[in-house]
Amino acid sequence: MIRLNLTATPEWLDLAPGLRLRVGPLTTALMVSARADLAVETLPEGATQEEMALAMAKSVARRAVLDWEGVGDDAGNIIPVSPEGIDALLEIWPVFEAFQTQYVARGLLLDAEKNVSAPSLTGPSAGATGTARPAQGPALTAPEN
């Protein structure tokens, strides 16, 4: 069952101790825009899955992150959300993994679900039985050359 969030309100994601991101809903428009991002479209043809995942995650995050808590500069001063800051934040492996799991993967799981057909209990194959008889007799083998 698909559960719809009709309020489409932003939510906070706790990605690490003391680090929270406020993100907007993961919508079709956001994903389409992220896929069309120049950084994603201009990846070299031989880019690895990891390079593609990082580029896509950064693209999604630049569109989705509205605010954050627990992000500062080298001196420990709180800094505002910026595209450069988001990219730098996602270069931190545990943060990238948490963002992928808590935000991006939800959309991908839903995308994967739509590509699977559930068995039909009322369709033409309901209660179907096999029509071919089991093979009997000696097994046939290909002639040796």
Burial of 53-74, coded b for 16+ CB within 10 Å and e otherwise, reads ebbbbbbbbbbbbeebeebeee
Could you read off the pLDDT of 81-112 as tens digits, one per residue?
Answer: 999 999 999 999 999 999 999 999 876 655 55
Could you read off the pLDDT of 30-59 as tens digits, one per residue?
Answer: 999 999 999 999 999 999 999 999 999 999
Closest CA to 13 of 77, 79, 69, 58: 69
